[in-house]
Amino acid sequence: MIIQAVHTGDHVNIFLGGVIGMIVLALSLIAFFVVYQRKIFEQERGRDEERRAYQRSLLAAAVEVQEAERQRIARDLHDDIGSLLTATRLYLRQLKPASTTEQVVGIRDQSLSILDEMIQNARRITHDLLPPTLEKFGFQAAAEDLCERIDGGGELAVIFQDTSPEGLRLSGEAEIGLYRVLQELLTNTLKHAGARTVRVSLGADSRSFTLHYADDGKGVDLQPGPRSGLGLRNVESRVSLLAGTLVTETSPGEGMRVEVSVPLGKPPSEE
C-alpha cells in the first residue's frame, strides 16, 4: 500500500508538471503572438508614414512647380510685355500738336515696331503655356515639334521616334502632363547633364502609352537621397497625378534613362 501511494503521488506530480508546462507554453505563444502583432503594427505604421511623407513630397513638388510657372509667367509679362508697353507710352507722349510730319511718322514707325515685338512675345508666352500643336493635334505632334525645335538650336541633338497608332489621342490631362514631363526632362538635360544626344521615343499598347527618354550626359546619383532635386521630383509628381508609372535609371557618367507609362483612357481625376 505504501508503494502504491508513492506511485500515485508521482503521477500527480507528473500531471501537474505537464499542466504547468502547457500553461507556460500557452503563455509563451500568446506573448510571442502579441509581440509579433505589435511588430507588424509598427512596421505597417512606419510604411504608412513613409507613404504619407512620399505623398507630401509629391504635393510639395506640384505646388513648387505651379509657383515656379507663375513666377516665370509674371517675369515674362513684366520684363517683355511691360517694358514694351512703357516704351510705347513714352513714344506716344512725344506727340504734340506742334509735332512735324516727320516727327509723327518717326514716332508711328517706332511704336509699330514695338507693338510687333510685343505681339511676338505674347505669342511666345502663350505657346509656352499651351502650344497650339498640342491642342489641335495631340501630344505626339507637340512632342515632335518640341524635339525639332531643340534639335534645331544646335546645342543638343534630339532623335525622335513615334511608333504609337496614328491618330491616337490621349485625355487632355494626360497630353498636357506628358508634354510638361518632356519639357522638364529636356530642360534638365540642357542645364545640367552636359549631354550631346537625346533619344525620345513614344509607343502604345492596348492599355498604356509610354514615353522613353535617354540622354548620354553625366547622369546623377540617386542613391544618397531624393531623386536629384526639383527637376525629377516635378516629373514624379506629374506622373503620379496621371496615375502613371515612372522608372528612372541613372548613375554618374552613365547618362539618364526614363520611362513614363500612363494608362489609356481618362485618368481617375476626370472620371
List pLDDT tens digits, range 196-208: 999 999 999 989 9
Which of 93, 127, 161 corresponds to the end of one domain? Answer: 127
Hey, what's the cell of 209?
Answer: 502609352
Identify the DSSP state of 219.
Answer: -
Give the list of residues 6+ apart from residue 184 with CB closer than 8 angstroms, or none: 231, 234, 235, 238
Identify which of 243, 181, 190, 187 has the alpha carbon closest to the alpha carbon of residue 212: 181
Same domain, 159 and 232: yes
Identify the DSSP state of 172.
Answer: H
d(CA 9, CA 7): 5
Q: Which domain holds residue 52?
A: 2-127
Which of 103, 127, 151 corresponds to the end of one domain? Answer: 127
d(CA 259, CA 228): 16
Same domain, 216 and 239: yes
Give the list of residues 6+ apart from residue 250 with CB closer than 8 angstroms, or none: 219, 220, 222, 228, 256, 257
Which of 127, 148, 164 corresponds to the end of one domain? Answer: 127
Contact criterion met (CB below 8 Å) for 216 and 255: yes
pTM, entire model: 0.62
List pLDDT tens digits, range 215-258: 998 887 655 444 445 567 788 888 988 889 999 988 888 889 99
Same domain, 77 and 186: no
d(CA 92, CA 25): 98
pLDDT at 62 > cutoff 60: no
Identify which of 234, 235, 195, 201 has the alpha carbon closest to the alpha carbon of residue 215: 195
Helix 101-129 / helix 2-76 crossing angle, nearest 10 deg: 160
d(CA 30, CA 42): 18
> Taking residues 76-104, what's their average pLDDT?
80
Report the number of distinct structural domains present in the chain: 2
Contact criterion met (CB below 8 Å) for 207 and 263: yes
d(CA 228, CA 250): 10
Same domain, 219 and 193: yes
Contact criterion met (CB below 8 Å) for 239 and 245: yes
pLDDT at 108: 85
> Taking residues 12-25, what's their average pLDDT?
74
Same domain, 95 and 142: no
Compare 21 and 179 and report the one with higher pLDDT.
179
* 140 band by pLDDT with thresholds 50, 70 and 90: very high
Mean pLDDT for the chain? 79
In the chain, the amino acid numbered 218 is: K
Contact criterion met (CB below 8 Å) for 142 and 131: yes
**Neighbouring C-alpha atoms within 13 Å toward the C-beta of 25:** 6
Same domain, 19 and 35: yes
pLDDT at 36: 78
CATH number at residue 172: 3.30.565.10
